[in-house]
């Protein structure tokens, strides 16, 4: 180009400009390249204001080629601004540098708004050779200033946006806020946040996108996210639309540019921000803001995830704490209760609002030890303690062991009772057998017959006791086998009560069974055992005699049979306990009536095995009513 060749003029210009300085070809070539490549117009004048240098940018700005102006005054200063121009040169000659916004003439007569920076052109020895002016359009300054102002405003807004995002700890809300902030800061037409889930991307945050897209997925390996991850950078600007027509969020009408930024959590990519441009343009400023927002988004997501983990952990701990069947209390460093779960309130009878802030309503063992303690209510507790050294708190765990204590006592009583029940007939059998063995010839036939009869009766008692023990063991193991078929309950009652009136001269027996009593479903043999035990109990627990009444009647689809006695009765609190193993109603003298506490346990298990049930009720006027219910077979024949 002519401008490039004539940028410095001829050799005389070179001598004038650089004086006695010695420049090699390389330095001179570099100087020419700098002038030719400068985006700003650079004009050098001699002391008489003739043009010494007029670079290519000056040609483009003013419309004058360098060949027309070298050695001449450039006609670019309007007449009305000549005084301003001379004042600038005067100040420059005095050793200053002047920068001002002014006007200059284009070759076609147009006035140009320019910014001019003017300084002195001096020789290496300091002699004034002329002047150098650098021109650029004033609007470029305005645009640059506008960009800086906008960038500063957006960066300030970014601070507010980050604070707003971090103020929310609900992860889905955080993701939507990130998408919304993305569009605000970058000027995008829509925004989205995708999470990386293995080999897929899932759209989890949307702004200005159809809500129906939320939750949609796309493959990772063919996505812009994968392309960005392969580059190792944090942001990517992709133009299309050919490059992203397969994306689900490419449904945005007119989409032409996508900016993508990676959000990392814990140093690993968690997801990506998508800024979608359909009407607006994206610039480097938008990319810079996207990169900044992506970094803050990763922090906000990490905070929300940590909060959700903490919430889930607290919810889990609360669920375990509240749902525990054990009583759990947490005490502070001073021993005051700070947490008290529902089981603790149920076990102790002390609600949380009455306990919190004070000591627990029972003594505590040393840490790591166990204390068994009985509450005033009669309930037994096993209490354990553990210290939390990090907080100085103490966790107290306690459970109800009343049933275990009762069972332990019942087993002890069972062993003692069984030993007694076995020893008495065995002693009698042994005594009579020894007598027969040693005194057979000395006994009369009647004496020998009486001894053998006694041995037989006691052996029968032993057999009955063994039957009860065996039935009790089978019932406890849920191994009672019964047949369920129709049978005549009335016949079984008559058979069970046939010989009873002659067994006691203190008791009266009445049986009231209607002739049309329906058959029942069940096992006839099991019912024989059941009836025998109910009748035996009626006789045994009415030692002073009285009426024993057996009655039956149909009731809806059931048949009810009751055995009433006028005996000692059963305390209200024992009416369910007597059906447990090894338990007898406490009548003041627990050995008064004998037995091992298995009879009614067997009765209930036999009744339930047949689809029925049995219960103990108080009898009007004193005594007990045992009520047996079986399923009606619907016919008496």
The C-alpha atoms of residue 516 and residue 316 are separated, in whole angstroms, by 62
pLDDT number for residue 69: 92
In the Cβ-directed half-sphere of 521, how many Cα atoms lie within 13 Å? 13
**How far is CA 429 from each of CA 436, 470, 593, rounded to the nearest angstrom?**
11, 22, 21
Do residues 604 and 626 make contact, with C-beta atoms less than 8 angstroms apart?
no
pLDDT number for residue 148: 60
Residues in the chain: 637
- CB neighbours of 72 closer than 8 A, spacing ≥ 6? 50, 51
Stretch(es) of the chain classified as CATH 3.30.450.20: 10-138
pLDDT number for residue 18: 41
Alpha helices in 256-350 (DSSP H): 284-323, 342-348
Identify the band that residue 480 occupies on the pLDDT scale cut at 50, 70 and 90. Answer: low
Residue pLDDT, tens place only, 374-408: 888 888 888 998 888 888 889 999 988 887 776 66
Instruction: Provide the sign of the torsion angle of the four alpha carbons 313, 314, 315, 320, taken in this order.
Output: positive
Identify the band that residue 75 occupies on the pLDDT scale cut at 50, 70 and 90. Answer: very high
The C-alpha atoms of residue 18 and residue 497 are separated, in whole angstroms, by 145
- CB neighbours of 384 closer than 8 A, spacing ≥ 6? 365, 369, 370, 396, 397, 398
CATH number of 150-311: 3.30.450.40
pLDDT number for residue 527: 86
Please determine, looking at this structure, whether the domain spanning 10-138 carries the CATH number 3.30.750.24. Answer: no
Over residues 337-359, the mean pLDDT reads 90
- Residue 355, φ and ψ in degrees, nearest 5: -105, -40
Question: Domain 480-632 is of which CATH architecture?
Answer: 2-Layer Sandwich (3.30)
Rounded to the nearest integer, the mean pLDDT of the chain is 79
SS3 assignment, position 203: strand
Measure CA of the first residue to CA of the last residue in the chain; give whole Å: 130
Q: For residue 191, which of 268, 270, 255 has the smallest C-alpha distance?
A: 255
pLDDT above 60: residue 259 = yes
Stretch(es) of the chain classified as CATH 3.30.450.40: 150-311
Residue pLDDT, tens place only, 41-71: 999 999 999 999 999 999 999 999 999 999 9
Percent of the chain with pLDDT over 90: 19
The C-alpha atoms of residue 254 and residue 248 are separated, in whole angstroms, by 14
SS3 assignment, position 109: coil
- Residue 194, φ and ψ in degrees, nearest 5: -115, 140
Identify the band that residue 293 occupies on the pLDDT scale cut at 50, 70 and 90. Answer: confident
pLDDT number for residue 617: 93
Residue pLDDT, tens place only, 105-140: 999 999 998 889 999 988 888 889 999 999 988 676
pLDDT above 90: residue 417 = no
């Amino acid at each position: 180009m002519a401008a490039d060749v004539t940028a410095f003029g001829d050799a005389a210009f070179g001598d004038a400009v650089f004086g006695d300085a010695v420049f090699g070809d390389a330095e001179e070539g570099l100087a020419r390249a700098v002038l030719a490549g400068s985006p700003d117009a650079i004009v050098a004048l001699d002391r008489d204001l003739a043009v010494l240098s007029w670079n290519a940018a000056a040609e483009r700005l003013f419309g004058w080629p360098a060949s027309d102006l070298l050695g001449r005054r450039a006609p670019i200063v309007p007449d009305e601004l000549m005084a301003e121009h001379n004042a600038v040169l005067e100040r420059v000659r005095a050793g200053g540098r002047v920068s001002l916004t002014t006007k200059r003439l284009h070759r076609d007569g147009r006035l140009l708004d320019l910014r001019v920076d003017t300084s002195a052109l001096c020789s290496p020895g300091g002699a004034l050779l002329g002047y150098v002016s650098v021109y650029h359009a004033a609007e470029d300054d305005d645009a640059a200033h506008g960009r800086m102002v906008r960038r500063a405003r957006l960066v300030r807004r970014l601070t507010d946006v980050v604070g707003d995002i971090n103020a929310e700890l609900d992860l889905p809300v955080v993701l939507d806020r990130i998408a919304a902030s993305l569009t605000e800061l970058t000027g995008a037409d829509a925004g989205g946040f995708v999470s990386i889930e293995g080999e897929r991307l899932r759209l989890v945050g949307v702004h200005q996108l159809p809500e129906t897209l939320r939750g949609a997925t796309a493959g990772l390996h063919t996505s812009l996210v994968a392309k960005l991850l392969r580059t190792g950078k944090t942001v990517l600007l992709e133009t299309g639309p050919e490059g992203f027509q397969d994306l689900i969020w490419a449904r945005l009408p007119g989409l032409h540019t996508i900016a993508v930024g990676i959000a990392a959590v814990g140093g690993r990519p968690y997801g990506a921000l998508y800024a979608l441009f359909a009407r607006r343009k994206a610039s480097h400023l938008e990319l810079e803001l996207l990169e900044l927002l992506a970094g803050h988004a990763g922090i906000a997501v990490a905070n929300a995830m940590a909060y959700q983990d903490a919430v889930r952990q607290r919810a889990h701990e609360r669920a375990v704490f509240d749902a525990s069947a054990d009583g759990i209390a947490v005490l502070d460093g001073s021993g005051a209760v700070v947490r008290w779960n529902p089981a603790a309130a149920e076990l102790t009878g002390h609600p949380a609002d009455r306990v919190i802030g004070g000591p627990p309503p029972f003594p505590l063992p040393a840490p790591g030890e166990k204390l068994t303690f009985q509450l005033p209510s009669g309930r037994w507790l096993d209490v354990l303690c553990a210290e939390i050294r990090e907080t100085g708190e103490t966790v107290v765990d306690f459970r109800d062991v009343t049933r275990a204590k009762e069972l332990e006592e019942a087993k002890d009583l069972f062993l003692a009772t069984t030993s007694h029940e076995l020893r008495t007939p065995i002693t009698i059998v042994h005594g009579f057998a020894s007598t027969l063995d040693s005194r057979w010839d000395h006994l009369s036939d009647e004496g020998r017959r009486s001894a053998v009869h006694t041995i037989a009766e006691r052996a029968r008692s032993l057999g009955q006791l063994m039957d009860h023990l065996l039935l009790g063991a089978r019932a406890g193991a849920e191994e009672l086998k019964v047949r369920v078929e129709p049978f005549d309950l009335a016949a079984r009652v008559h058979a069970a009560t046939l010989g009873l009136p002659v067994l006691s001269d203190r008791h009266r027996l009445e049986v009231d069974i209607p002739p049309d009593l329906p058959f029942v479903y069940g096992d006839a043999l099991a019912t024989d055992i059941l009836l025998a035990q109910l009748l035996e109990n009626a006789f045994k627990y009415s030692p002073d005699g009285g009426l024993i009444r057996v009655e039956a009647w149909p009731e809806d689809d059931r048949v009810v049979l009751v055995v009433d006695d006028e005996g000692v009765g059963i305390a209200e609190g024992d009416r369910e306990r007597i059906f447990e193993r090894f338990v007898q109603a406490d009548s003041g003298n627990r050995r008064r009536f004998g037995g091992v506490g298995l009879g009614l346990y067997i009765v209930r298990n036999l009744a339930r095995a047949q689809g029925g049930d049995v219960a103990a009720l108080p009898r009007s006027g004193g005594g007990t009513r045992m009520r047996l219910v079986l399923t009606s077979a619907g016919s008496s024949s």
